Structure 1
Amino acid sequence: MRSIWCVILGLFLLVRGIEGWKRGVPAVKFFEYAGISCRAHSVSIEDFGGIGDGKTSNTRAFHDAIAHLARFSDRGGGLLYVPAGRWLTATFNLTSHFTLYLDKDAVILASKDIRDWPLAKPLPSYGRGREAPGDRYASFIFGTNLTDVIITGNGGTINGQGKVWWRKFRHGKLNYTRPHLVEFMYSNSVQISNLTLLNSPFWTLHPVYSSNIIIQGMRILAPVKSPNTDGIDPDSCTNTKIEDVHIVSGDDCIAVKSGWDEYGIQYGMPTKHLVIRRLTCISPYSAMIALGSEMSGGIEDVRAEDITAINTESGIRIKTAMGRGGYVKGIYAKGMKMHTMKWAFWMNGNYGSHPDSHYNPKARPVIQGINYRDIMAENVMMAGQLQGISGDPFTGICISNATISMNPKSKEAPWSCMDVQGIASGVTPRPCNELIHKKAVTCVFPEPLPIEDVKVKRCVYKGKHHP
């Protein structure tokens, strides 16, 4: 008898649910997601009047929803759910102990109206906007001095609609530096995962002065001729893990930075303890991973493993110059696959753009301890161009177990080296004499970092769903 009543009750609830759906009454929606923290409170953008038609501005809805959830930061945190739809909005800021979740087929659209993008102060380690003196446009999604913040989803998209910015930049019609798509400053414990970031106005994902960052399962896409649409730019950050990321970019897929000339030297905040794993990059005019050129606060302990470049200008590139100061040291890469490249390896000590005339031209960068091993490259125009600085050679270079197949149309010598020192073992074609040939040497790769062992939790969303 009890089982019969259970069936009747189940049918009754199902009918009530269907009737409620027909009347437009919100139903309860459940799903699981992975997060560094789970949230006790949740709302939908629709609860605050959001309309996902791609035309209606949802700026007020995003601001109000995030302000509402900020009240729960010390009571289990809050999650803002963005369902399927096209959610147009101006820029907005995040809060601590907060999750922004984009469901499948959810698209957050950045406004094309530049009046919707306020100005922000230049970064102290840059001293000015990267493209123009003075201020810069604020990033589309931004957070500062935050703790425990997540942007994740079930494959949703954040679309910067950057074409309007690219056009104005090319025509010289911008007085300030273009905005990033997503930026965090002075923040700790940040997760960005399982989303597509599309068509950023400038650099796409820019964590700066932050620590304990996890970037996982991302697609970052922009046309290969779009200007300076870097994929991910860890900038003066500590303990960052980037893994399972696919990037198509108009500039470097990953650009590791730490400030610009005298401003970066004075600020003195390096990027260190960075892990990059299972990266795929397509960037015909730039690098798979660039170190610099803004590296004046220092770059130290970068590990890259199982990385693939396809139709990309260069593999791992070091960019610096006199006047930069700072250092790049303790760089480790293994398991690189490269297909159709201009350069497999490129080190450039003459990458000389400067913020102003106040930099110290005698500030010498230190480049040492560069380790590459287990490399397969094909259809390469030049195996390596390694150019240090006269009187300031790049030292401690190690390349081992590398097979590079040259493009038969290449008219260049496979290697060109100047002001560099190091060793090579098992490298084909045979490198330049500046890399002393050793037998049976394996370049070092260090033990794992604590950030590699950070595990996300299994979280459950239970909230109202507006059919």
Structure 2
Amino acid sequence: MNKAVAIILSVPLFLLSGYTQAQQKGVKKPYSFDNLPVVAKTAFKKDTISILKYGAKNDGRSLNTLSINQAIVACSKKGGGVVVIPEGFWITGPVELKSNVNLHLKKNALLQFTSDFDQYPLVEGNWEGLPQMRNQSPIWANNQENIAITGYGIIDGAGEAWRMVKKEKLTESQWKKLIASGGVVAADKKSWYPSEQSYKASKMKHPGLISNEKDAAYYASIKDFLRPNMVVLNRCKRILLEGVTFQNSPAWNLHPLMSEDLVLRNVHVKNPWYAQNGDGIDIESCKNVLIEDSTFDVGDDGICIKSGRDEAGRKRGLPTENVIVRNSTVYHAHGGFVIGSEMSGGARNIFVSDCTFIGTDIGLRFKTARGRGGVVENIHARNINMKDIPGEAILFDMYYAAVDPVPLTGEKRDAPKVELLPVTAATPVFRKFYINNVVCDGAAKAVFIRGLPEMNISDIYLDNLTIKAKEGLDIQEAKNIRLSDIRLDVDNASPLVSIMNGNAIKLERLMYTNAGLLLDINGNRNSSISLSGTDTTKAKTPVEFGAGVASSVLSIEK
């Protein structure tokens, strides 16, 4: 064995993961793919109650809100069990889950939430990481333990009654049909809203934000706009979602919030691709989560990690941690697996493996912005397959601007202004990402890494990537970045690799078909950039240095 390798193998794992000897005491051994977090399981009594016992009617017209909730309450009071929704078409208003109850949908059961907004009272909730007034979620639970939604049926949130729609996301005939259905077209003719009330509120800044000067009459005047997330599980423990299809949500589809021990298995999550804020699952400030064998096809981010927004998220101070995502597929989505942008409480110990992203705007998407604060670290991803990615295969961006990741037709965007600002509690941190074994057949750009001048993205390790893309690697304001065994199929790339203000950037064994320019280095804050194990002769021009960049910042080794 090579002596250097032997030395590395003899170093304890906690040292390689950034723990000092002094920190070792009282600190749990860092998680790895060989030492994954443990998620506590649910367990239910076999006692069964049918909603038919409480007068539920399967006629596609009767409102069954009372019947379903009475069955759940009765089951919980008896110590728990299974509440069964039989085969059929069941209309309902909001359903509240209770401790020790498994809400079970039989095959061919459709639980359809009503589009009558009067059935959804206004309640204090949370929207995009901030305390806000919202309409009651179709399915919800607060401070409950040992709860589940299982079975084979479909849960439909009637999202079309709530959502605005962008014209650019529809065909001309679809747009005309939508306008003919009623609602209001925005003044710029680019968006449609379900009602005048919804349109009016859309022009306000954080209209649902809870504040002392707003009274009940104010919130009632914008009620139509305050779309609920479909399933909200707040401060709950031991949760199981299994087998069911969750679709057509008013806003986010699944939203576990400040909860612990969640298992999501063999679930289908669906929204129209044009569904505004139609995320698949947003895991916010949760601990111990397992997502496996599930499929997502949605209108916004597919599988997303969050932990609150800006000062409110930092004050909450609850990171999302100990998350396992495996053996799952994401079709249309803004991102296949995503962290951010509301990650102000932090995120850590995340493990994503053996997943496939087909047609997602971005594959692995990590986003934040100034003002968020929070630390995202110890993020692991491996064995990821991607196909037909319109944007970046892998993206790290600290300039998130709250827009769709891929510009719509005719949309023009300016690059963000780059300026050095002081580091404060509102400065976000991205560090310690480990990504390996990624194959992508088709992307606009292979890898994009963009940090802040005052807080570089750091400690990014990308190994064994095979990516076919229009553009190669773009690294900005980053330090301690290592890319090894990277195979890029980028036709006539110029440059193949772009570095702007990079420090300790290592490119090892970079393989490519051809390039007009292999490496382009710009900026006045570059140092310790190295290229090794790479054939530079296949590029027309191996290296170009921007104005003021000394050639000594780069070392090239065979």
TM-score by length of 1: 0.79
Counterparts of 1:374-453 in structure 2, within 5 Å, are: 374-406=437-469, 410=470, 413-421=471-479, 422-429=481-488, 431-433=497-499, 434=502, 435-438=505-508
- Contact map agreement 1:322 1:352 (CA 8 A) in 2: no
Question: Residue 124 and residue 405 in structure 1: after superposition, are their counterparts in 2 closer, same or farther (change >3 A)?
Answer: closer
Q: Which has the higher contact order (CA 8 A, sep 6+)?
A: 1
2:267 paired with 1:243: no
CA distance in 1, matches of 2:397, 2:130: 24
CA distance in 1, matches of 2:464, 2:432: 17
CA distance in 1, matches of 2:99, 2:251: 25
Q: Which runs of 5+ in 2 are unaligned?
A: 1-40, 165-182, 184-190, 199-221, 403-422, 489-495, 511-558
CA distance in 2, matches of 1:141, 1:314: 30
Equivalent of residue 56 in structure 1, options 56, 62, 66: 62
- Contact map agreement 1:424 1:431 (CA 8 A) in 2: no
2:159 paired with 1:159: no
CA distance in 2, matches of 1:217, 1:107: 18
Amino acid at match of 2:450: Q
Question: Residue 263 and residue 219 in structure 1: after superposition, are their counterparts in 2 closer, same or farther (change >3 A)?
Answer: same
Aligned to 2:535: none
Equivalent of residue 295 in structure 1, options 334, 343, 352: 343
Aligned to 2:106: 103
- Contact map agreement 2:374 2:427 (CA 8 A) in 1: yes
Amino acid at match of 1:99: N
Secondary structure class of the residue paired with 1:66: helix
Secondary structure class of the residue paired with 1:274: strand
Per-residue CA deviations over 1:168-192 (Å, capped at 9, x if unaligned) read 7942733353111111111110000
CA distance in 1, matches of 2:387, 2:46: 47
Aligned to 2:385: 337
Equivalent of residue 432 in structure 2, options 351, 364, 369: 369
Secondary structure class of the residue paired with 1:53: coil
Per-residue CA deviations over 1:95-124 (Å, capped at 9, x if unaligned) read 101110000000110010011111121339
Secondary structure class of the residue paired with 1:264: helix
Cα shift at 1:227: 0.8
Counterparts of 1:71-150 in structure 2, within 5 Å, are: 71-73=77-79, 77-123=80-126, 126-129=129-132, 135-150=133-148
Question: Residue 125 and residue 66 in structure 1: after superposition, are their counterparts in 2 closer, same or farther (change >3 A)?
Answer: same
CA distance in 1, matches of 2:364, 2:235: 27
Cα shift at 1:126: 3.4
Cα shift at 1:71: 1.3
CA distance in 1, matches of 2:156, 2:307: 27
| Identity across matched positions, percent | 29
- Contact map agreement 1:339 1:379 (CA 8 A) in 2: yes
CA distance in 1, matches of 2:321, 2:163: 31
Per-residue CA deviations over 1:324-381 (Å, capped at 9, x if unaligned) read 000110110000100011210111111256xxxxxx9861111100111001001111
Cα shift at 1:415: 2.1
Secondary structure class of the residue paired with 1:173: helix
Secondary structure class of the residue paired with 2:327: strand
Cα shift at 1:271: 0.1
- Contact map agreement 1:86 1:107 (CA 8 A) in 2: yes
Aligned to 1:216: 265
TM-score by length of 2: 0.67
Secondary structure class of the residue paired with 2:266: strand
CA distance in 2, matches of 1:231, 1:211: 19
Amino acid at match of 1:93: E
Cα shift at 1:42: 1.5
Counterparts of 1:15-54 in structure 2, within 5 Å, are: 36-54=42-60
Aligned to 1:264: 313
Aligned to 2:368: 320
Amino acid at match of 1:88: I
Secondary structure class of the residue paired with 1:438: strand
Amino acid at match of 1:143: A
CA distance in 1, matches of 2:378, 2:192: 37
Aligned to 1:274: 323
Per-residue CA deviations over 1:16-46 (Å, capped at 9, x if unaligned) read xxxxxxxxxxxxxxxxxxx831314221011
CA distance in 1, matches of 2:354, 2:131: 36
CA distance in 2, matches of 1:138, 1:294: 22
CA distance in 2, matches of 1:186, 1:95: 13
Per-residue CA deviations over 1:190-238 (Å, capped at 9, x if unaligned) read 0000010010111001101100110000011111111111101110000
Equivalent of residue 236 in structure 2, options 173, 178, 187: 187
Secondary structure class of the residue paired with 1:115: helix
Secondary structure class of the residue paired with 2:284: coil
Per-residue CA deviations over 1:298-337 (Å, capped at 9, x if unaligned) read 0101100011111111111111111100011011000010
- Contact map agreement 2:44 2:101 (CA 8 A) in 1: no
CA distance in 2, matches of 1:65, 1:343: 48
CA distance in 2, matches of 1:125, 1:52: 36
CA distance in 2, matches of 1:366, 1:345: 18
CA distance in 2, matches of 1:425, 1:414: 14
CA distance in 2, matches of 1:214, 1:270: 18
Aligned to 2:197: 173
Aligned to 1:196: 245
Per-residue CA deviations over 1:251-280 (Å, capped at 9, x if unaligned) read 000110000000000010000000000111
Question: Residue 71 and residue 235 in structure 1: after superposition, are their counterparts in 2 closer, same or farther (change >3 A)?
Answer: same
Secondary structure class of the residue paired with 2:388: strand
2:302 paired with 1:305: no
Secondary structure class of the residue paired with 1:414: strand
- Contact map agreement 1:399 1:424 (CA 8 A) in 2: yes
Question: Residue 361 and residue 233 in structure 1: after superposition, are their counterparts in 2 closer, same or farther (change >3 A)?
Answer: same
Aligned residues: 386
